Amino acid sequence: MTTGLDGIIAAETVLSHVDGTAGRLVLRGLPVEHAAEGLDFEGVTALLWQDFHPLGGNGRRLAAAMARARVGVARRLPLLLPATAGLSAVEALRLMLSSLADGSAADDAVTVAAAVPVFVAAHARHLAGLDPVEPDEHLGHAADFIRMLTGSAADPAKARALDTYLVTVSDHGLNASTFAARIVASTRAGLISSVVAGLCALKGPLHGGAPGPVLDMLDAIGTDGAAPAWIGAELAAGRRLMGFGHRIYRVRDPRAEVLKRALAPLSSPRIRLAEKVEQAAIAALSHHRPGRPLATNVEFYTALLLDAVGLDRSLFTPVFAMGRVAGWTAHVMEQEATGRLIRPASRYIGPLAA
């Protein structure tokens, strides 16, 4: 018996389709390649929220509402930041999102999507001993995040690359964090509680915690020539290569190529090494588990892209949440509309009497 629910259909959704054999991802009918090229974060969120939210389908009105909400949630920072002492970036985000009350799903969806960049940027500055930078209602979500983080206007190429990343990771079928969010939504606990559950599931290294360790791996390998030996030793020691393998994909994750292309204008200093490491890893993994194709997943080029945007690796998982919150909120609203509690069964294998 499988304990990972492999292949089990646990929900019907109109939000995204993941074809693990063909290496295809479709977001509400739009191939991820087209979505990443044509939409910004607010646009993909409006697309995902269509039919579930009053601002769904209207990217411009949603962008305005989200910008106003960024300003609103920033007022909470003086109270929240002191409470984050000793927490990592993702733990601080968890704490700050938990401080939001569950109210109406429509209002909460805008608030929580707006809150993620405000909280992440302010916490990063707080750790560096710097005051938060006020949100700017006239900027897009991605550009305002970079400005709130760095204190300077975002380089347009970096803001565009970040937007492409946020769109690319906005939704992805019933991944672990989305499933966690849907389970909580099914109990009618509320949208904020459901999103916090999603973030808790995202944090782990087998899900959204992988891109930071991808950069650690590139640092440890150091030079092109060292890749095969380093990778061979890792696999021989029984360790997993971060940024490779996927529950659904049996071929290269289509998001890897989208992110690699988005990275090109930023001229990452690590791209050559990364390509060599990817080649060496794929060659080694093809011998590692015969019969279990292991290919590059989204996290490999996520690490390169977010690094080239100028983000510290401690922010990679919170920035993943900044994109995935679009999908979590859409799934929560879709789940709530079903009115159905998610409650699977377990098979008892212990004694019936002591």
Which residue has the CB atom at the shortest distance from ligand ACO? 245
Q: To the nearest whole angstrom, how small is the minimum distance from the Cβ of residue 294 to ligand ACO? A: 5
Q: How many residues bind ligand ACO (CB under 6 A)?
A: 20
Which residues, listed in sequence order, are joined to residue 24 by a DSSP beta bridge?
Answer: 19
**Rounded Cα gap, residues 95 and 56, in angstroms:** 28
- Name the one range near ligand ACO by CB under 6 A: 13-21, 189-197, 285-293, 342-350: 285-293
Count of alpha carbons within 13 angstroms of residue 20, beta-carbon side? 17
Q: To the nearest whole angstrom, how small is the minimum distance from the Cβ of residue 287 to ligand ACO? A: 11
Of the two residues 108 and 253, which places its CB atom closer to ligand ACO in the complex?
A: 253
Footprint (CB under 6 A) of ligand ACO, residues 21-50: none
**Rounded Cα gap, residues 70 and 73, in angstroms:** 5
Of the two residues 130 and 233, which places its CB atom closer to ligand ACO in the complex?
A: 233
The single residue among 160, 182, 203, 207 that binds ligand ACO, judged by CB under 6 A, is: 207
Per DSSP, helices labelled H in the chain are 32-38, 41-49, 59-74, 77-80, 89-98, 105-127, 141-150, 156-168, 176-186, 191-202, 211-221, 227-236, 254-263, 271-288, 298-309, 316-338
Of the two residues 117 and 211, which places its CB atom closer to ligand ACO in the complex?
A: 211
Footprint (CB under 6 A) of ligand ACO, residues 236-255: 240-247
185 contacts: CB under 8 Å, gap ≥ 6:
191, 194, 331, 332, 335, 336
**Rounded Cα gap, residues 182 and 334, in angstroms:** 9
210 contacts: CB under 8 Å, gap ≥ 6:
242, 243, 297, 299
Task: Write the DSSP symbol of residue 4.
Answer: S
Q: To the nearest whole angstrom, how small is the minimum distance from the Cβ of residue 241 to ligand ACO? A: 4
Per CB under 6 A, 323 contacts ligand ACO: no
**Rounded Cα gap, residues 61 and 166, in angstroms:** 19
Closest CA to 190 of 118, 112, 114, 117: 112
Of the two residues 160 and 246, which places its CB atom closer to ligand ACO in the complex?
A: 246
- Name the one range near ligand ACO by CB under 6 A: 48-56, 120-128, 234-242, 337-345: 234-242
- Name the one range near ligand ACO by CB under 6 A: 51-59, 152-160, 288-296, 325-333: 288-296
Of the two residues 212 and 245, which places its CB atom closer to ligand ACO in the complex?
A: 245
Which residues, listed in sequence order, are joined to residue 19 by a DSSP beta bridge?
Answer: 24
Choosing from 278, 299, 334, 336, the catalytic residue is 299
Task: Look up residue 93 and give its amino acid.
Answer: L
Footprint (CB under 6 A) of ligand ACO, residues 290-309: 292, 294, 297-299
Active-site residue 334, yes or no? no
Choosing from 123, 207, 246, 288, the catalytic residue is 246
Contact yes or no for 123/131 (Cβ under 8 A): no
Q: To the nearest whole angstrom, how small is the minimum distance from the Cβ of residue 13 to ligand ACO? A: 17
The single residue among 14, 83, 153, 206 that binds ligand ACO, judged by CB under 6 A, is: 206
Active-site residue 246, yes or no? yes
**Of how many residues is the chain composed?**
354
Q: Enumerate binding residues for ligand ACO (CB under 6 A).
A: 4, 206-208, 210, 240-247, 288-289, 292, 294, 297-299
> What is the set of active-site residues?
246, 299
